[in-house]
Amino acid sequence: MQPMNMYMVPNPGIPGCPPGLEYLTQVDQLLIKQKVELIEALAGFESNNKYEICNSMGQNVFYAVEENDCLTRQCCGPLRSFTIRILDNFGEEIITVSRPLKCMSCFFPCCLQELEIQAPPGNTVGYVLQQWHPFLPKFTIENERREPVLKLQGPFCGWSCLPDVDFEEHTTHIK
């Protein structure tokens, strides 16, 4: 892979921190911006999503790419299965995020969404589980042993015409 034009992330080699993620110990915020393809915007044709992951100063620190086939993207829409590969500033994969295909409805919560996070790829470090609620986006973050470590809750209106949607974090003892 070609090196990317990104902010150079320092590599201090922190014990217990997966390789390539050391920079995350120095930031309190990351902004994820989806790069919209022209054909997707004009024709409604779904393409693999691409994202820039920036620090609070707007500098790209990581880049994410979705891997999926055309038929799945067109037929399953936003509920499709996917693998997202997060790359460092040298184009090396440092995180893999996988989601299987699950059909769901807010009134039939039998197949809620789940992500598996691997860092480095092949080493599962945690999961993100959707929690059922008829109106709120709610998620539980679990460690590699599937023990809850954090809960996230989004706004009443899960979609927005505004560019940012903020989620509140809660400790795991809050229901």
Q: If you write DSSP's letter for every residue of 124-166 in order, what string do you get?
A: EEEEEEEE--SSS-EEEEEETT--EEEEEE--SSS--SSS---
Q: Quick check: 148 and 129 in contact, CB under 8 A?
A: no
pLDDT classification of 7: cutoffs 50, 70, 90: low
Chain centroid to Cα 137, Å, comes to 15
- Model confidence pLDDT, tens digit, residues 71-84: 888 888 778 899 99
Residue 2: which pLDDT band, with cuts at 50, 70 and 90? very low
Q: Which of 35, 36, 18, 25 is nearest to 93 (CA)?
A: 18
3-state secondary structure of 75: helix
pLDDT tens-place string over residues 8-34? 555 557 887 888 888 888 888 899 998
What's the pLDDT at 45?
Answer: 73
Indicate the DSSP class of residue 90: T
Q: What is the pLDDT of residues 101-119, one digit of tens each?
A: 887 666 667 788 899 999 9
Residues 157 and 166: their CA atoms lie apart, in Å, by 11
Rounded Cα gap, residues 16 and 25, in angstroms: 11
More confident residue, 159 or 53: 53
DSSP H/E element including 72: helix 70-76
Per-residue pLDDT at 16 = 78
pTM for the whole thing?
A: 0.78
- Taking only the tens place, the pLDDT of each residue in 118-131 is 999 999 999 999 99
pLDDT digits (tens, 9 = 90+) for 134-166: 888 889 999 999 999 999 988 876 555 666 667
